[in-house]
Copies of this chain bind each other. A is one copy, B any other.
Amino acid sequence: MEFSPRQEEIIKLVKENAPITSEALAAKLGLTRSALRADLSILTMIGILEARPKVGYIYSKNSSIGFSSDYIRSIKVKDVMSKPIVVQEETTVYNAILDLFLSDVGTLFVVNNDNLVGIVSRKDFIKTAMGTADIHKVPVGIIMSRMPNIVLVEEEDSVYDAAKKIIEHEVDCLPVVGKEIEDGREVFKIKGKVSKTSITNIFVKLGEDR
């Protein structure tokens, strides 16, 4: 179900201040007790809050209330993104592979003055390492996927949209960027990454007992 902003506020206050009486809740919200009554009774009925006589409201950990699709779509990229590992365009393929192993990631982001210019994945590295090129000499700039042929997301985008892009474009990982104007042209600052691992982590959290 969807909560109203006031219901969300009540749940937050109860989580932080439990046990809390309806008087104290009303005072914190600047409302009368009677204005609160309907919300408190619905939250109690569906098992989010528990009303303990003479004690006050507590947040019910046993609540089996679900996540709505809306809730899932409300999780933002900025809430789950992780640290991107970046290399310069001139980095040799060999050194980039070392970075890949040292950081234990599957994708490196290639930057030029902090601006995203490309992406290299394990797939690119396998192709190159199988070939005849000297990986100690070839720079990643040669083997990377180059902007603008890169699927991007921004911090305010939903993880749901990011997940759809990951599936549609068959990639493991998307760069999270912030658009800026530099010398009259649009550039993309790398802010983070969101990957199938980020989404698997969310899935585990959704399945946890609350």
Contacts and interface: CB of A to CB of B under 8 A. Distances in A.
Interface of A: 1-2, 42, 45-47, 63-73, 94, 97, 100-101, 104, 106, 122-123, 125-127, 129-130, 135, 158-160, 163-164, 166-167, 170, 172, 195-197, 199-204, 206-210
A210 to B, nearest CB: 6
A158 B200 CA distance: 14
Contact of A97 (B70, B94, B130): B130
B166 A200 contact: yes
Contacts of A199: 196, 199-200, 203
A100 B121 CA distance: 14
A101 B203 CA distance: 28
A1 B69 contact: no
Nearest to A123: B122
A193 to B, nearest CB: 14
A201 to B, nearest CB: 6
Given A47-B1, A64-B68, A160 B126 contact: no
Number of copies of this chain that the complex holds: 2
A175 to B, nearest CB: 17
Contacts of A206: 67, 69, 72, 206
B129 A204 contact: no
Contacts of A72: 203, 206-207
A64 B65 CA distance: 12
Nearest to A73: B207
Contact of A67 (B42, B66, B167): B66
Contact of A64 (B1, B45, B135): B1
| 9 cross-chain pairs, A with B, having the tightest CB-CB distances, nearest first | A66-B66, A129-B129, A196-B196, A64-B68, A160-B207, A72-B207, A122-B122, A66-B68, A66-B67
12 contacts: A1-B46, A1-B47, A69-B206, A69-B207, A72-B203, A101-B126, A106-B172, A163-B204, A167-B200, A196-B197, A196-B200, A199-B200
Q: From A2, A200, A210, name the one whose CB has the most chain B CB atoms within 10 angstroms.
A: A200
